[in-house]
A and B are shown apart, each in its own frame.
Chain A
Amino acid sequence: MGAGAPGVLGPRPVAAPARREGGLGGRAVALQGFPLPRQPPRSSAGAAMEFAELIKTATVESVLLSGAGLPPVRGTLCITSHHLLLSSRPGGDGAPGSVELWLLIRNVDAVEKRVQNLGWYQPPRTNGSQRDTRLAGSSGTITLRCKDLKVLQLEIPGMEECLNVASSIEALSSVDSVMMLYPFFYRPPSLRLEAGWHLFPLERYYQQIAAQTSQWRLSSINRDFSACPTYPPAVIVPAAVDDEALRKAARFRQGGRFPVLSYYHRKNGTVMLRSSQPLTGPNRKRCREDELLLGTVLDEGERGFIIDTRSAQAAKQARMTGGGTEPKASYPRWKRLHRPLERGRPLQESFAKLVDACNDTALTMDRWLSRLESCRWLSHVKAALSTACLAAQCLDREEACVLVHGAEGTDTTLLVTALAQLILDPGCRTLAGFQGLLEREWIEAGHPFHLRCARSAYSHARLKQEAPLFLLFLDCVWQLSRQFPFSLEFGEQLLLTLFDNAYASSYGTFLGNNEKERCLCKVKESTHSLWAWLNEPGEKKKYLNPLYSHNALVIWPSVEPQSIQLWQGLFFRWIRSSEYLDEAWAEIQRLVENDDTSVEESAGNRQSQAPSDTAAQTENKR
């Protein structure tokens, strides 16, 4: 039970009143769930030393913390290797103060500092002592804009302290080395280190397919990540294609991402594949093995669809840089559909603009909608959902196989394949199934989380590889949950938690860019899995949807603009009070649980009084 800053915080901060992280109320996870910082293990003492250099000022007294929604608090600010803490003044006799802020420094997206010399603001020195005036004479305000979109302000007495604190936070928040990140130091007592890492092995997913058809095999061609550095060690491929052919096909695809099975549609045996773009190049190169691979997927006389997430124009232009797309002549049974989806910098800018607009309190109603429109975020949501629906429609209605790819095959491709599965497969709509989907289609499939989620909407840092594709996915899932309120086993809280953890986490689940990197960093051996924590019974309850009932059908969402809404729970999480909506949810929960208990009670009653009838009764109820 080590506290991050000995001497500042004696006991565990759990004892603190139910103040929430960031001191902002709203939907933050309650403090109890919060990771405790731990002294770095001996082996990484070097790292601790390095961090010590980054921390110019470790503690500052009398700092005023404020943020929208809650009254400001004054307390002692303390910077540790991974956290920013603020504890309000301790009571007498050394009684600990309450912790008002417990912020993972990795969560800080942008630091803005403003120092001011307040000397001339002071009223004429009539009774104020010399010292008071000097203290008030200089101070600074640090605005912390966090990756989870909340905004905090720290008013720090003393200009130098302020600058020191700001630069310490800046330095600590931009540590780029994966192994220096907090998950490698976080050791919660209630979790086992290895728990949650092997909940969803691809082998098990393969077994389900193998039970239905023998056309697919599990290949360990990528055991040592040699065929494709961004694929997991095992992939599902057509049984008729051997590893040697795969290796050749991999050379014909960008980053070696040859077509692999993403989803098997049990209803009619069609499959969804994903890959990266073929390296057609300006000379229209071909690859026999790649053509063979795709050819064997289709039965005699069958046709398939290639959904390219770029415009036809962009796909054509990609040939200039060695990429391209499948020419009709070489893949005669595959029909290409182009559905341009935004990615990369424009998507990141769209996200930043939207967050800007949401935070702009001066905006009036007659400007709000055009601001919202100019962000284009909702257009991206609509486009992503439509494309996923198209893929699902091809599989379910046209009974045709589908290959999805864009350029690299690690971004919009995964967005489409993951969403399509959620629409088609009821198994993905449970809490465990959704975790499995994320594991399989985002994490193991090689979405570069470390690059994409390095910075969030506020960062002024020069953008490199950042893009909120995962957030876009979560937003689309939220749209589905709004249109089908009974069909997803999990609720909004899970989506918010996933967003937070993708950008800054105490857990290792979203670390690194692919399985190879995770393997090199020994992520699975040295960090805790987010799933282990989420699936703890006490924690899990928060993420369940009380209205859930299994729905075996395909859920076709509406993609009309009238049906797409802004995800207020995320974008306004720290801005507006959700008190009344939370009350409504509590009421829904009460109603549904009341119903369940009354069913149980009545069933139970019958059981005790009329044993002969119970079997039929309970069966009916469930």
Chain B
Amino acid sequence: MTQPVGWRLGVMTSLCVDHVQQSWQQCIVENVRLLDRVSSRKAALGTLYLTATHVIFVENASETRKETWVLHSQISSIEKQATTATGCPLLIRCKNFQVIHLIIPQERDCHDVYISLIRLARPVKYEELYCFSFNPKLDKEERERGWKLVDLNEEYNRMGIPNNYWQISDVNRDYGVCDSYPTEVYVPKSATAHIIVGSSKFRSRRRFPALSYYCKDNNTSICRSSQPLSGFSARCLEDEQMLQAIRKANPGSDFLYVVDTRPKLNAMANRAAGKGYENEDNYSNIKFQFIGIENIHVMRNSLQKMLEVCELKSPSMSDFLWGLENSGWLKHIKAIMDAGIFIAKVLIEKDWVSFGHKFNHRYGNLDGDPKEISPVIDQFIECVWQLMEQFPCAFEFNERFLIHVQHHIYSCQFGNFLCNSQKERRELKIQERTYSLWAHLWKNRADYLNPLYRSDHSQTQATLHPQIASCNFLYKFWSGMYNRFEKGMHPRQSVTDYLMAVKEETQQLEEELEVLGERLASLQKVQSNDNKVKSKQQDQNKELGRSTSNISLANTPQEYNSNLKSFPSRSPSQGDEEDSALILTQDNLKSSDPDLSANSDQESGVEDLSCRSPSNGGCLPSEDSGKDSDEAVFLAV
């Protein structure tokens, strides 16, 4: 599946040609400029290619020929701006928060690209998605194994289910009761098929209460369902019995908490539509609680607003904080955190995929109603990150894992996150026709481990108790995600990578020591040069670990003098004319010192040792559009 990094261009061109015959007019535009999002002065001249799966920009600069690859499925919006003297600007915003700002010389070319991309970014059929053509060259067996990596029944077994209180029900075997639930559903033993079916009829989209998480330490459980169709007064005996059965399956508790994740107002408004919430009077021993998590429309707008803040060109601290606050994003994150009882090992597969989260609708992989799109999983992933920040030792995975999962939710490279329910996924034969992300991530798991995680650590042992009450400051802006492609903004040295390298080295040294000991035992005094070489390499490893993120952008000073140009007008008393001659711009630096751009890595806080990129060679989302454009291997078909 991993192809050498060097082949890209040749294959790519032939791919283009392939697709010309299929459905696509070949699209190559020359003399396109790619603008840098942080520094407006930096723009790269190059050629733009459209293939069936990617938008590719290749820089002209002969020594680097830097490539930027963007999957069509990652594109969230395309904006054509008014033509200027320099050309026609095209803004491509991606779901993984990359923003590509192109300037295309000819208005007509720009329009063609625009129209093509609109069509390419929103395929109408599932079959057009990348995962159906993506082939990492695994045999059938490997593919099947990949899909079996996460076995839900095993997950429930881990929780100690089935047991005396809970069992698997096959009531949904042909998706007969609820088409957005999986075939196997865990319910209380005392809930008969009659009760389940009855209850499902009283629930929106027939999503009856089913087990989500079971805590075997104290026999408590979390169930989930949709809203009841209660309207203003309707009741359903079976539904009441269902909740009763759930309560009895939690022998330790006298009450059942019903948590409604909507603001109360929204829930009340829903009553007019025949939906609503459980009436405490009709259900015995329940306690009702609203938690004001806003609906998907509010969330979508909030994310949109926050991303606009991220896009601001050299904002002041105030612009940024105001914008962040006005977006309300962190407020929503906090609301979700307040609501959630999160478990250390967070299982995305179980909670999100099997239980009919509307992946297709929410992530807009196919052309559909834009109002159905919502960033709920982004919020979930961010919540996990916020927890990781508070409990650095509690999670086995690291930030990179979250970012890559988020990337692949939208990349459509793997079949996991396609469609809206298990039913749809089965109908499309996803497991036979696409590959599983988990297998891919598992293969590269070394890159996703948190070096601070120890299974015997106290933070991993017990439930986490996040500091929720009035600790607003704990919720931070996640620039690692939302400004993921603005490398210059991130810490220049990665503690995680360094510690991983350290761990690896320690292990290697120990192994080496063992080998040496054995050899010494047999050959008392022979020394071979081989060892020297080995240890040298390891030593380099350690150095490399320290200097992971060296991208040219990170290695040059920023425009600390962004308002330099406006300076002369600010000193009217002087009336200086020559100010303009002294500009500390990047362009000036480059022209005055041709070596500078090439050397710039040396001028940074991070040394220019060829980077130990953890994502080298795998088909991982590209974070680094530097020398090795990882995005390229996406096409390693």
Binding site for B on A (CB under 8 A): 303, 305, 311-313, 316, 327-328, 335-338, 358, 361-366, 368-370, 372-373, 376, 378-379, 381-382, 386-387, 389-390, 392-394, 396-398, 482-487, 547, 549, 551, 553-556, 558-566, 568, 571-572, 576-577, 580-581, 583-584, 587-588, 591-592, 594-595, 598-599, 601-602, 605-606, 609-610, 612-613, 616-617, 620-621
Q: How far is the CA of A584 from the CA of B458 in the complex (A)?
A: 11
Q: Cβ of B522 < 8 Å from any Cβ of A?
A: no
Residues in B with CB closer than 8 Å to A580 are: 390-394, 459
Other-chain residue from A361, A379, A397 in contact with B557 (beta carbon distance below 8 A) = A397
Q: How far is the CA of A398 from the CA of B585 in the complex (A)?
A: 10
Q: Cβ of B325 < 8 Å from any Cβ of A?
A: yes
Residues in B with CB closer than 8 Å to A563 are: 479, 489-490
- Contact, CB under 8 Å: A558 / B467: no
Q: How far is the CA of A594 from the CA of B473 in the complex (A)?
A: 34
Q: A328-B574, A485-B491, A571-B473 are in contact. List 18 more A-B contacts (CB 8 A).
A: A312-B567, A312-B573, A335-B582, A373-B318, A397-B589, A482-B491, A486-B495, A486-B498, A486-B546, A553-B602, A554-B605, A559-B560, A561-B321, A587-B454, A587-B457, A598-B509, A605-B513, A620-B539
A574 to chain B, nearest CB (A): 13
Q: How far is the CA of A613 from the CA of B526 in the complex (A)?
A: 11
- Contact, CB under 8 Å: B320 / A562: yes
B114 to chain A, nearest CB (A): 30
B382 to chain A, nearest CB (A): 14
B205 to chain A, nearest CB (A): 31
| Interface members, chain B 570-614 (any A CB < 8 Å) | 570-571, 573-574, 576, 578-579, 582, 584, 589, 602-607
Residues in A with CB closer than 8 Å to B510 are: 598, 602
Closest to A597 in B: B506
- Contact, CB under 8 Å: B316 / A587: no
- Contact, CB under 8 Å: B560 / A620: no
Other-chain residue from B477, B491, B557 in contact with A389 (beta carbon distance below 8 A) = B557
Q: How far is the CA of A592 from the CA of B545 in the complex (A)?
A: 13
Other-chain residue from B392, B509, B570 in contact with A581 (beta carbon distance below 8 A) = B392
A333 to chain B, nearest CB (A): 11
Residues in B with CB closer than 8 Å to A599 are: 509
Residues in A with CB closer than 8 Å to B564 are: 337
Q: How far is the CA of A282 from the CA of B602 in the complex (A)?
A: 48
Residues in B with CB closer than 8 Å to A394 are: 584
Q: Cβ of B375 < 8 Å from any Cβ of A?
A: no
Q: Cβ of B483 < 8 Å from any Cβ of A?
A: yes
Other-chain residue from B472, B570, B576, B603 in contact with A554 (beta carbon distance below 8 A) = B603
Residues in B with CB closer than 8 Å to A316 are: 571, 573
- Contact, CB under 8 Å: B458 / A583: yes
- Contact, CB under 8 Å: B561 / A312: no
Q: Cβ of B107 < 8 Å from any Cβ of A?
A: no
- Contact, CB under 8 Å: A312 / B571: yes
- Contact, CB under 8 Å: B475 / A365: yes
Q: How far is the CA of A596 from the CA of B474 in the complex (A)?
A: 33
Residues in A with CB closer than 8 Å to B576 are: 328
Q: How far is the CA of A369 from the CA of B329 in the complex (A)?
A: 11
B505-516 CB contact bits vs A (8 Å, 1 = yes)? 110011011001
List 14 A-B residue pairs with CB atoms under 8 Å apart, sorted by A's residue number: A327-B574, A338-B567, A361-B470, A366-B325, A369-B324, A556-B605, A559-B560, A562-B479, A571-B473, A580-B392, A581-B392, A587-B393, A588-B495, A591-B502
Other-chain residue from B318, B492, B520, B605 in contact with A610 (beta carbon distance below 8 A) = B520
Q: How far is the CA of A397 from the CA of B592 in the complex (A)?
A: 10
- Contact, CB under 8 Å: A379 / B318: yes
Residues in B with CB closer than 8 Å to A609 are: 520
Looking at chain A's contact residues, is the secondary structure mostly helix, strand, loop, or mixed?
Answer: helix
Residues in B with CB closer than 8 Å to A549 are: 546
- Contact, CB under 8 Å: A393 / B539: no
Residues in B with CB closer than 8 Å to A568 are: 473
Q: How far is the CA of A118 from the CA of B161 in the complex (A)?
A: 57
> Which of B324, B560, B584, B607 counts the most chain A CB atoms within 10 A?
B560
Q: How far is the CA of A370 from the CA of B327 in the complex (A)?
A: 12
Closest to A364 in B: B472
A617 to chain B, nearest CB (A): 6
10 cross-chain pairs, A with B, having the tightest CB-CB distances, nearest first = A561-B320, A369-B325, A584-B392, A555-B605, A373-B321, A368-B472, A379-B317, A562-B479, A389-B560, A312-B571
Per the CB 8 Å criterion, the residue count for chain B at the interface is 94
Q: How far is the CA of A372 from the CA of B467 in the complex (A)?
A: 19
Closest to B582 in A: A335
Q: How far is the CA of A476 from the CA of B67 in the complex (A)?
A: 36
Other-chain residue from B316, B561, B606 in contact with A390 (beta carbon distance below 8 A) = B561
Q: How far is the CA of A482 from the CA of B393 in the complex (A)?
A: 18
Q: Cβ of B51 < 8 Å from any Cβ of A?
A: no
> Which of B38, B391, B535 counts the most chain A CB atoms within 10 A?
B535
- Contact, CB under 8 Å: A612 / B527: yes
- Contact, CB under 8 Å: A358 / B603: no
Residues in B with CB closer than 8 Å to A382 are: 316-317
Q: How far is the CA of A562 from the CA of B571 in the complex (A)?
A: 31
Residues in A with CB closer than 8 Å to B108 are: none
- Contact, CB under 8 Å: B506 / A562: no
Residues in B with CB closer than 8 Å to A327 are: 574
- Contact, CB under 8 Å: A606 / B516: yes
B379-390 CB contact bits vs A (8 Å, 1 = yes)? 000000000001
Other-chain residue from A305, A547, A565, A571 in contact with B498 (beta carbon distance below 8 A) = A547
- Contact, CB under 8 Å: B502 / A487: no
Closest to A564 in B: B317
Residues in A with CB closer than 8 Å to B502 are: 591-592, 595
Q: Cβ of B330 < 8 Å from any Cβ of A?
A: yes
Other-chain residue from A363, A486, A588 in contact with B452 (beta carbon distance below 8 A) = A588
Residues in B with CB closer than 8 Å to A606 are: 516
Closest to A284 in B: B573
Closest to A561 in B: B320
| Interface members, chain B 25-43 (any A CB < 8 Å) | 38
Closest to B542 in A: A595
Closest to A363 in B: B472
Residues in B with CB closer than 8 Å to A311 are: 570
Q: Cβ of B488 < 8 Å from any Cβ of A?
A: yes
Other-chain residue from B391, B474, B493, B570 in contact with A312 (beta carbon distance below 8 A) = B570
Closest to A613 in B: B527
- Contact, CB under 8 Å: A595 / B506: yes
- Contact, CB under 8 Å: B509 / A602: yes
Q: How far is the CA of A338 from the CA of B564 in the complex (A)?
A: 9
Other-chain residue from A393, A602, A610 in contact with B525 (beta carbon distance below 8 A) = A610
Residues in A with CB closer than 8 Å to B474 are: 576
Given A484-B492, A580-B391, check contact A556 B558 (CB 8 Å): yes
Residues in A with CB closer than 8 Å to B582 are: 303, 305, 335
- Contact, CB under 8 Å: A547 / B603: no
- Contact, CB under 8 Å: B321 / A562: no
Given A335-B582, A595-B502, check contact A393 B473 (CB 8 Å): no
- Contact, CB under 8 Å: A560 / B605: no
Q: Cβ of B319 < 8 Å from any Cβ of A?
A: yes
> Which of A312, A316, A558, A616 counts the most chain B CB atoms within 10 A?
A558
B501 to chain A, nearest CB (A): 9
A611 to chain B, nearest CB (A): 10
Q: How far is the CA of A595 from the CA of B458 in the complex (A)?
A: 22
Other-chain residue from A312, A363, A369, A613 in contact with B321 (beta carbon distance below 8 A) = A369
Q: How far is the CA of A592 from the CA of B390 in the complex (A)?
A: 21
A366 to chain B, nearest CB (A): 5
Other-chain residue from B471, B505, B574 in contact with A576 (beta carbon distance below 8 A) = B471
| Interface members, chain B 222-238 (any A CB < 8 Å) | none
- Contact, CB under 8 Å: A617 / B535: yes
Q: How far is the CA of A365 from the CA of B336 in the complex (A)?
A: 12
Residues in A with CB closer than 8 Å to B561 are: 337, 390, 393
Residues in B with CB closer than 8 Å to A613 are: 527, 531-532
Residues in B with CB closer than 8 Å to A551 are: 605-607
Residues in A with CB closer than 8 Å to B499 are: 588, 591-592
B132 to chain A, nearest CB (A): 37
Q: Cβ of B146 < 8 Å from any Cβ of A?
A: no
